[in-house]
Structure 1
Amino acid sequence: MSDSASSVIRMATVSDAPAWSDFARRVFLDTFGPNNDPDDLAEYMRDAFTHEQQRGELEDPQNRCMLAECEGVLAGYTLLRAGAYGASDESTDERLLQATRPLEIQRFYVDHAFHGRGIAQQMMAEALAHAVSLHSDVVWLGVWEHNPRAIRFYEKYGFFKAGAHRFRLGRDVQRDYVMMRPL
């Protein structure tokens, strides 16, 4: 595919659960596989990316999943979740803790084959527009501290480090930065 391939962002439906699940599993493994123990990855993925898990996420009224398609091929997705921010492991910016209508970007992935085509930028624009439509006062996310590419991307959109929390990948307890962007 050429770099000028057109892409479309659309809301996922329950019928998308199997394809989304398979895609999410693959991009998670592509993204984190080289830097993590295969047994920890397998343990995490056993529950995180089943067809039933994604179906449940799509049926949850607090969630919205946006799929990015490029010439009919699934190229990326973002899972958004409305609701309060829980306690963090480290000092957290008070603006996040006091948010009345926070929106979490729970997952944000673009297939490596589609990097550099503007899809992530389109997805972020749609995610932020959705937050505005919900009258959210803060958008937040967790990002692995060892993922500098993602951290730089989020910083370009006005997100800043507001704390940290733990993320369990199998037996491995990792540290994610909590990043936020007031709206």
Structure 2
Amino acid sequence: MMVTVQVITDPRFAAEVAAVAAATFPLACPPHSAPANIDAFIRDNLAPADFARYIDAPESDVLLTRTDDDIPVGYALVHHREPTDADVAAVITDRPSSEVSKIYVLPDHHARGRTQSPSRLLMETAVERARARGAASIWLGVNQENARAQRFYTKMGFTRVGVKTFDLNGSVELDYVLSRPVRSRLLDR
């Protein structure tokens, strides 16, 4: 099965992206996360109106992966701006930088082979978009308990550079800050 990545430029697709976000966000939350906190975060941050704003924002890219039968299976949200979190700003020294704010794939599409992995294609596209915008580095936050995601990010060339907090509707979670240069291609590290 082939997958493709598209940059979403039409806010009419926001509901489609939000549906993937609502299905995938809970999977990345630590086991101790309260379902009410997860639901509130989705409602307050991952709604169609939120994605419509991101799609319209010139400093952001919304990426969506689809199967060859046009089914959305993953998405990424990339911000091309300097870090606003003080903990992140202190450790991201290779500037300008872009942030992979969100990158999630439906669980039945996680391991699709080296070249057709939706996660890999999303990350490669995020890095290419950052490079095209002149970024020197790209960074992300990942929950300290999410070992699977950390392994994937390491394979994609990211290294741990710091820590930050993540507010899950009043529950403070600890994230690692990971970063990598965008000057070289992913496979040419």
**Please, what TM-score do these two structures have when normalized by structure 2?**
0.86
Partner secondary structure for residue 28 of structure 1 = helix
Instruction: State which of 4, 8, 12 in structure 2 corresponds to 1:8.
Output: 4
Q: For residue 13 of structure 2, what is the amino acid of its counterpart? A: D
Any conservation in 2 of the 1:163–1:179 contact (CA below 8 Å)? yes
> Cα offset for 1:126?
1.2
Instruction: State which of 81, 84, 90 in structure 1 corresponds to 2:82.
Output: 84
How far apart in 1 are the matches of 2:16 and 2:7?
A: 14
Paired residue for 1:182?
181
1:102 counterpart = 2:100: no
How far apart in 1 are the matches of 2:171 and 2:59?
A: 28
> Cα offset for 1:56?
0.9
> Cα offset for 1:129?
1.3
How far apart in 2 are the matches of 1:84 and 1:72?
A: 34
Deviation per CA, 1:112-133: give whole Å up to 9, x if none. 0111111111111111111211
> Cα offset for 1:33?
7.4
**Paired residues for 1:150-161 under 5 Å:** 150-161=149-160
Q: How many residues align?
A: 176
1:66 counterpart = 2:76: no
Structure 2: gaps (5+ residues): 183-189
> Cα offset for 1:87?
3.9
Structure 1: gaps (5+ residues): none
Paired residue for 2:48?
51
Partner secondary structure for residue 76 of structure 2 = strand
Question: Residue 152 and residue 59 in structure 1: after superposition, are their counterparts in 2 closer, same or farther (change >3 A)?
Answer: same
Partner secondary structure for residue 64 of structure 2 = strand
- Larger deviation: 144-153 or 46-55? 46-55
Deviation per CA, 1:29-80: give whole Å up to 9, x if none. 2332754111211221221121111111111111001100012110111111
Q: For residue 159 of structure 1, what is the amino acid of its counterpart? A: F
> Cα offset for 1:81?
0.3
Question: Residue 138 and residue 177 in structure 1: after superposition, are their counterparts in 2 closer, same or farther (change >3 A)?
Answer: same
How far apart in 2 are the matches of 1:48 and 1:139?
A: 22
Paired residue for 1:41?
38
Instruction: State which of 106, 121, 124 in structure 2 corresponds to 1:111.
Output: 106
Partner secondary structure for residue 17 of structure 2 = helix
Deviation per CA, 1:119-152: give whole Å up to 9, x if none. 1111111111112111210100011111011111
How far apart in 1 are the matches of 2:62 and 2:180?
A: 20
Q: For residue 104 of structure 2, what is the amino acid of its counterpart? A: Y
How far apart in 2 are the matches of 1:62 and 1:91?
A: 17
